[in-house]
Amino acid sequence: MSTQGLSEIDIASYLARTPGFFERHAELLAHVELANPHGPRAVSLQQRQMEMLRERIRGLERRLMDMIRNGQDNAALTDRLHQWICALMLVNDPRDLPDMLVVDLQEQFRIPQVAMRLWDVAPAFADEPVARSVGPELKRFASSLRTPYCGVNTTFEAVRWLGHPSAVASLALLPLRRSYTGPAFGMLVLGSPDPTRYTPEMGTDILMRISELASAAVTRLLPDSD
């Protein structure tokens, strides 16, 4: 084979198409030297291949550790969600549900501030603190949400439901509704002083589950649906 006029791409293509080349010319591997990316010295092709292999192994180990950590985090979240559901199911008096739901949610998920409001409740619960007045604009906003709102603290009315609204840097607003397509009858607000706790880019799967479970629990305070 003539090498006249061959480019590096031609040579690379030839070697890729001829896997037996280095088997027939194994002595070349010990003499081909490459620049070491970790220093000025040159290393043989074999040494460079070993370094590349070790780097790949280290990368795989990091990915494996990340997967293990994510699995542990998900298991912990699932356990907290389970404990919260059990607590909700053990509440006998519907009047106790709002306070228990908020307090236990705050403790299980280590949320600095949590509050909830409901509207259009059954007459028997109209005087409960959770049924205090909510503006029509916020009701419309709650009904427009198909997924929880996560972001910075703006001028949302719901922030004022929290005990220390000025300390909130990020928040999540969770609509409460009987069904996915139905209008909202309430809202949960989660507040944190950490601006990165709730962001528009975050996954909302767990928040969606919390919203659905809370909705199901507090329907006991609503009029019977037709």
For each successive 10 residues of the chain (226 residues), what is the average pLDDT? 69 79 69 58 60 74 72 74 88 93 92 96 95 94 94 85 92 93 94 93 90 94 81
Exposure string over 197-209, b if 16+ CB within 10 A, otherwise e:
bbeeebebebbee
Question: Kind of pairing, strands 149-152 and 113-118?
Answer: unpaired
The Cβ-side half-sphere exposure at 130, using a 13 Å CA radius, reads 28
Residue 47 pLDDT: 66
Residue 222 pLDDT: 94
Residue 78 pLDDT: 80
Residue 167 pLDDT: 92
Residue 71 pLDDT: 64
**Alpha carbons 136 and 113: distance in angstroms, whole number:** 24
> How many C-beta atoms surround the C-beta of residue 219 within 10 A?
19
Residue 121 pLDDT: 95
**Alpha carbons 156 and 138: distance in angstroms, whole number:** 8
Residue 39 pLDDT: 58
